[in-house]
Structure 1
């Protein structure tokens, strides 16, 4: 019986993952309004009844897409491969890892949700609140990577937020068909600026 329950949980998790992936794809392809629950279910290879079993409404599914992206960001922040042996953050590595997320066409799905929900004031407030909660979840791991004095913590938090703002803004340039060199140049500049500010905050020159 326990094994049967585990299989059921596994199937449920797999179906949810399929639905979230299908939703993200369709948000990129046809936008928020075009990504109907019927179309998402068809893309995922399940019935609309199965979709609503896991996500009662489209709003719940959209929040699930946001959750999925949040987990990807948290996973990147928590990885150790962007920390130098002396405990400093390798900013270039961190920027590159974050760009893998925010520069990925899948992130367009997030913009579609943010922009597409503007006409629904109640749900848009939920989306905005979700984004704010994501920032609160992402910031502590970043701050904990640095042994800065307490008075410097707000500045460090602001620096991290600035970095995310810049990377998210740069991701919109993909809509303008900029070449790879354009993104490499601007990401390198961002990493240089953030690293310089980090050195200052840590008491360097």
Structure 2
């Protein structure tokens, strides 16, 4: 019975941190990096600045909390219910559409770029942001690929192909700021799916042929 108050306190702490990170992400993509102050974050989250600094001593801590939040969102986005087609090959068109709908096409995704661009002149902070991004690719995308791509000579090239795919999707997400219509995004996502799908198929076929010769 004595553990209940402590459990409730842990829950409240986690909830407050989540609300503060949510407010940070929202402000980053609505008012931008420069406008996202700790005072405004506290106001949006409905807490005092003292409470904010209790959970996140500095604004940098909040920014990395926002980056962690979007990284987890990417991890969740990759977990499709049916990632393979009927032939047991990754369904690239479905994967690209899914990632666009639930992650890269979401306005909240821009919070990442607000942090990356906003910290570019900070010689101490920006390298940490870049390192965080590289770590996200290694621990989320590469781990996901290791589960879905069998070992073989083509594996490293498949990893490169998927990084290229995400680079292209990220670049396309910036086109939202140019007021493009949905048909524009549909058309370019289809082109990307064709390019990546054909390249992936060729890589996997080559890997099968090499295995057969061994």
**Matched residues in 1 for 2:73 and 2:64: separation?**
14
Name the counterpart of 2:50.
49
**Matched residues in 2 for 1:29 and 1:192: separation?**
33
Please state how far the C-alpha of 1:140 moved relative to its aligned partner.
2.1
Unpaired stretches in structure 1, ≥5 consecutive residues = none
SS in structure 1 at match of 2:131: helix
Q: TM-score, normalised by structure 1?
A: 0.94
Name the counterpart of 2:181.
179
**Matched residues in 2 for 1:59 and 1:92: separation?**
37
4+ runs deviating over 3 angstroms = none
Name the counterpart of 1:139.
142
Name the counterpart of 1:115.
117
User: For residues 119 and 67 of structure 1, do their structure 2 counterparts lie closer, same or farther at Cα, with a shift above 3 Å needed?
Assistant: same
Q: Is the 8 A contact 1:163 1:194 kept in 2?
A: yes
Q: Does 1:15 align with 2:32?
A: no
Query: What is the RMSD computed on CA atoms of the aligned residues?
Result: 1.5
Who wins on radius of gyration, i.e. which is larger?
2
Please state how far the C-alpha of 1:55 moved relative to its aligned partner.
1.0
Match of 1:193 among 192, 195, 199: 195
Q: Is the 8 A contact 1:23 1:40 kept in 2?
A: yes
Q: Is the 8 A contact 1:143 1:157 kept in 2?
A: no
**Matched residues in 2 for 1:88 and 1:71: separation?**
25
> Which deviations, in whole Å up to 9, do the C-alpha atoms of 1:19-63 show, x marking residues without a partner?
111111111122111100010000000111111111110001000
Unpaired stretches in structure 2, ≥5 consecutive residues = 210-214
Map 1:26-175 onto structure 2 (within 5 A).
26-99=27-100, 100-137=102-139, 138-149=141-152, 151-175=153-177
**Matched residues in 2 for 1:144 and 1:155: separation?**
16
Please state how far the C-alpha of 1:86 moved relative to its aligned partner.
4.2
**Matched residues in 1 for 2:29 and 2:78: separation?**
25
Aligned length: 204
Match of 1:202 among 196, 201, 204: 204
